[in-house]
């Protein structure tokens, strides 16, 4: 049935008028088995109830559906003269998909074998109750479905092949790696060089140069300042160790009876302890200049402004506010030890030395 005929039949089938419904039932009596199956699929797709003569035809596949001219009785190939108990099988789209896909694949392997033979062999793989005789109506419908299936299948393959050929052609015309490198401009080379340098760690970058090359790139003042800072830092560490050893020795001697008597007779002055100054936001050469102006009156603690926490026990903390963030400034104020002095510094190394000296004398 054509689409227009199906719509007209459904209109009569769903009509409230009894005569229209009788007309639709008579039309079912004249339909072939395949037409009844297709009509069932359409009603299910439109969510319409299957009833009346159509429901009887689907529920009684062993019955006969009289035709208009008394000749062929449907695509099953049974005539009016066939046995009244001949079994009729109705296929849905699942059975057709099963048959069409496998017949198509088998026909590629056996192109000389007829479609009837192929269909019969494939139907042997189906449950016995779903098999149908390979009559002319079934073969005709199978042929139409094979054309549609092969067209859709090979259309996808042809498109993929076309895309692959275009990609292969594009790759053949693409420049080689050497040609691409040779075609780079100076600006592009500089851009890539900066990316490579940024990806290297400082150790990897410096390790590629000799010691003499590195020294030639650094000023004498910076080298001397760095050496002085290291000496001062190491001296501060040794001083702290000596102080700790002296404190421990004093505690041990204090427990001796003769030491208690001696302390009563003579009181020794306590050792001089240099104040510890923490520098935050200063460069190494700047710290060296300030330490030199104070002439060894302080112990130096260098704080990296990029560290996550501030945990120095310095007596005096000097912040160069221009080079540290507000959040790190707040963290220093929160975490400095009790009694320490905090100096917020804006510029001038001489001013910094004077501020530190003023804090020492307080």
Whether residue 156 is contained in a domain is answered as: yes
DSSP string spanning 285-351?
A: HHHHHHHHHHTT-SEEEEE-TTSS------SEEEEEGGGS-HHHHHHHHHHSPTT-EEEEE-S-HHH
Q: How many domains does the chain have?
A: 3
Do 45 and 149 share a structural domain?
A: no
Do 53 and 132 share a structural domain?
A: no
Q: How many CB atoms lie within 10 A of CB 316?
A: 22
State residue 264's pLDDT score: 52
Mean pLDDT by runs of 10 across the 362 residues of the chain is 75 82 81 80 82 77 41 38 52 89 88 88 88 85 88 71 78 72 80 80 80 82 85 84 83 62 54 83 86 84 79 88 85 87 86 87 78
Whether residue 189 is contained in a domain is answered as: no
Do 224 and 129 share a structural domain?
A: no
Domain coverage including residue 107 = 93-170
Whether residue 348 is contained in a domain is answered as: yes
R_g (Cα) of the chain, nearest Å: 50
State residue 98's pLDDT score: 92
Whether residue 345 is contained in a domain is answered as: yes
Whether residue 355 is contained in a domain is answered as: yes
Whether residue 301 is contained in a domain is answered as: yes
Look up the pTM and report it: 0.28
Do 357 and 225 share a structural domain?
A: yes
Do 356 and 226 share a structural domain?
A: yes
Instruction: Indicate the residue among 129, 149, 170 that finishes a domain.
Output: 170
Do 154 and 228 share a structural domain?
A: no
Cβ 352 vs Cβ 359: under 8 Å: no
Whichever domain contains 253, its CATH number is 3.40.50
Q: How many CB atoms lie within 10 A of CB 287?
A: 23
Whether residue 240 is contained in a domain is answered as: yes
Whether residue 141 is contained in a domain is answered as: yes
């Amino acid at each position: 049935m054509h689409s227009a005929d199906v719509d007209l039949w459904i209109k009569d089938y769903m009509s409230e008028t009894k005569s229209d419904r009788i007309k639709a039932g008579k039309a079912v009596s004249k339909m072939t088995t395949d037409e009844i199956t297709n009509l069932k699929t359409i009603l299910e797709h439109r969510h319409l109830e299957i009833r009346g003569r159509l429901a009887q035809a689907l529920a009684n596949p062993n019955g006969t559906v009289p035709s208009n001219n008394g000749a062929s009785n449907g695509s099953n190939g049974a005539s009016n003269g066939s046995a009244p108990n001949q079994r009729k099988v109705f296929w849905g789209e699942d059975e057709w998909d099963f048959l069409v896909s496998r017949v198509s694949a088998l026909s590629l392997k056996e192109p000389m074998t007829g479609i009837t033979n192929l269909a019969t062999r494939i139907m042997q793989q189906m449950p016995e109750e779903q098999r149908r005789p390979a009559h002319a109506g079934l073969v005709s419908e199978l042929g139409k479905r094979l054309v549609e299936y092969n067209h859709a299948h090979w259309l996808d393959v042809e498109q993929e092949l076309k895309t692959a050929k275009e990609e292969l052609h594009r790759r053949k015309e693409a420049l080689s790696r050497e040609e691409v490198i040779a075609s780079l401009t100076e600006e592009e080379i500089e851009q890539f060089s900066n990316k490579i340098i940024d990806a290297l760690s400082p150790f990897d970058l410096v390790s590629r140069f000799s010691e003499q090359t590195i020294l030639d790139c650094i000023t004498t003042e910076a080298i001397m300042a760095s050496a002085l800072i290291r000496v001062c830092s190491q001296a501060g560490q040794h001083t702290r160790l000596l102080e700790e050893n002296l404190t421990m020795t004093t505690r041990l001697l204090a427990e001796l009876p003769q030491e208690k008597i001696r302390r009563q007779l003579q009181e020794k002055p306590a050792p001089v302890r240099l104040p510890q100054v923490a520098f935050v936001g200063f460069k190494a050469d700047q710290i060296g200049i300030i330490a030199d102006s104070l002439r060894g009156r302080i112990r130096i603690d260098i704080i990296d402004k990029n560290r996550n926490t501030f945990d120095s026990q310095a007596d005096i903390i000097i912040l160069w506010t221009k080079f540290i963030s507000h959040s790190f400034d707040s963290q220093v104020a929160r975490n400095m030890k009790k009694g320490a002095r905090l100096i917020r510094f804006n510029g001038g190394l001489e001013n910094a030395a004077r501020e530190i000296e003023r804090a020492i004398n307080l």
